[in-house]
A and B are shown apart, each in its own frame.
Chain A
Amino acid sequence: MTIRLGPWSVRLAPRALVVGLALVVVACGVTVAAISTGEFTVPVPDVVSALFGQGTPVAELIVSKLRAPRVVTGLLVGAAFGLSGAIFQSLTRNPLGSPDFIGFTAGASTGGILAVVAGGSAMTIAGGALTGCVVTAALVYAMAFRGGVQGYRLVLVGIGANALLLAVNSYLLTRANINDAATAGAWLTGSLSGRGWDHAIPVALALAVLLPVCAFLSRPMRMIEMGDDSARAMGIRVEVVRAVAIAAGVLLSGVATAAAGPVVFVALAAPQLARRLTRSPGVTMGASALMGAVLLTAADLAAQRVLAPTQLPVGVLTAAIGGTYLTLLLRKDRH
């Protein structure tokens, strides 16, 4: 489907549009459900008035201070993980090239644990996670670099770094005192509980800058998926595109981990699901972001309600859902 306006033209796949709209609808549904239900039910009309400062004080507290920031953080973090996964899976031409597998998330965890052990506040932990992610990515990139970075080298070096960092993380936890270890353990499963606007805002800012960058990158990245020579022959500066894409992907997974902890499998599953739903050949940034947002908020809603009043950390559910999905994916690929 082509939309033309004077000298401008944009090409859209009808199926991708429908999937995108459906995901927006689902995300809205999950958001409303997450805000209005719970131990204290706020009817939907009251949710709207509370958001605009017109509701009862109790409704306003619950909606604006507790539930809205949590679900908004979930949407933003999910979108950031989805985009980051889409970028790295495209660059490595491998579904297992997700930041969870190539050490970036593990590096963020190391940073987070070190901040916990150092007795840091929530903000220090977030800073530690972001730093850990960026430092790990820089080291993996440097070690995989050989006049350019090949996808499979990035995956191999990343898997090595991942194993090493997981060992470091376990070691740090055994050395930490019991309280720190408990705090770090809770943070390590990934959680949206108690997230406020100060968690959502950094992720929102990162997305505001990086979403347009991703939109710009998606066309050259699709060409690079066909091989470096093919892309170069089409006039794409492969190394530049790759470096910018890696930077964007690292920042996205870094800020997302900083806000919610290392929530696993969203970055792996969202782009794969988005791709299968849109049946689009190659990376689909928009659908991956939306899918990530839906996955994380839906998993968080389930984590709060399934075993209520017991609250599970969202990472437990994404791991359970993601693990099941990964198994199915591998089973399907075998044929």
Chain B
Amino acid sequence: MAARLSGTDLTLAYDQRVVASGLSVAIPDESFTVIIGPNACGKSTLLRALARMLKPRTGAVHLDGSVITSLPSKEVARRLGLLPQTSIVPDGITVADLVARGRYPHQRLMRQWSRADEAAVAEAMRATDVTDLAERIVDELSGGQRQRVWLAMALAQETPILLLDEPTTFLDISHQIEVLDLCADLHEAGRTMVAVLHDLNQACRYATHLIVMRAGEVVAEGDPVEVVTPELVHQVFDLRCEIISDPQTGTPLIVPEARRRSPAPA
């Protein structure tokens, strides 16, 4: 299994609080990897470390065989993109201008807007279906539209690897599916996608590679069909459940056990 992006023996900590230690992961190339686990299990922390937002206390993240922090940061930004959990929309910016900011790692002071920049922005807006919104002010868009615009900005960066930190948070169910379908399309087009998600069923449906975490450790890893079992769900989420086959996709579908069965009809 080839992996351009991997972390080895990572100790991850904020100030004094150690979130994970001895953590090793590899992101299979051209996979749609989803990291999942209960709250505070360190999944977002791991993603931040992989995206070099957080410096591991020990161990190292490697990109294409080099320690990621040893590479020039603009060079990394041409290979690896990140959609952070929260970003601030600049006042009064238009969709086209925001998406264009994704070209920053490809630009220089005297090369601010090449034909390649123009083409990449047009393509990113087409792929995310925001072309019609180009001249709209981002602040005035709905949550779902805005998330597509942020995705378009990350796409304009034209990185072969794209990391997404909870891209569906704050979206209603239809917009969640819309964003995940878009991620699946980007994966089909040949990108390596890595996302932190909350919903186990969505993770099973979209992931080609699942990383299941609990308390700073990777508990299971692999194809969701093989990995996800009632025992694993109980071990990781402390939830008793039944697993059936998703009628739409055949992927595992978690059905939590009812606390109290409704009385049987007499």
Contacts and interface: CB of A to CB of B under 8 A. Distances in A.
B102 A234 contact: yes
Interface string A138-157: 00000000010000000000
Nearest to A275: B91
B219 interface: no
B219 to A, nearest CB: 27
B91 A281 contact: yes
Interface stretch (A18-26, A45-53, A218-226, A324-332): A218-226
Given A229-B53, A233-B84, A235-B75, A11 B113 contact: yes
A91 B110 CA distance: 24
B87 A9 contact: no
A11 B84 contact: no
A10 B86 contact: no
Contacts of B82: 229, 232-233
Contacts of A279: 92
B69 to A, nearest CB: 11
B74 interface: yes
B105 A230 contact: no
A195 interface: no
A226 B110 contact: no
Which of A2, A236, A237, A281 has the most chain B CB atoms inside 10 A of its CB? Answer: A281
Given A230-B87, A235-B78, A282-B90, A8 B111 contact: yes
A8 B111 CA distance: 5
Contacts of A275: 91
Interface in B61-79: 72-78
B112 A9 contact: yes
Given A226-B101, A234-B104, A236-B73, A9 B113 contact: yes
Interface string A227-246: 10110111111000000000
B76 A235 contact: yes
A227 B82 CA distance: 12
Nearest to B83: A233
A223 B104 contact: yes
B224 interface: no
B31 interface: no
B28 interface: no
Interface in A225-282: 225-227, 229-230, 232-237, 275, 279, 281-282
Interface string B111-127: 11110000000000000
Contacts of A227: 84, 86-88
A10 B110 contact: yes
B interface SS class:
loop
B157 interface: yes
Contacts of B154: 233
Contacts of B53: 229, 232-233
B29 interface: no
A7 interface: yes
A219 B110 CA distance: 12
B109 A219 contact: yes
A235 B74 contact: yes
Contact of A233 (B81, B91, B107): B81
A237 B92 contact: no
B223 interface: no
B240 interface: no
A236 B107 CA distance: 12
A229 B82 CA distance: 8
A279 B78 CA distance: 30
Nearest to A231: B104
Given A235-B76, A235-B104, A226 B81 contact: no
A222 B90 contact: yes
Contacts of B207: none
A41 to B, nearest CB: 44
Nearest to B150: A230
Contact of A226 (B88, B111, B112): B88
B104 A7 contact: no
Contacts of B105: 234-235
Interface of B: 15, 48, 51-53, 72-78, 81-94, 97, 101-102, 104-105, 107, 109-114, 154, 157
8 contacts: A8-B110, A10-B113, A219-B109, A229-B84, A232-B52, A235-B74, A235-B105, A281-B92
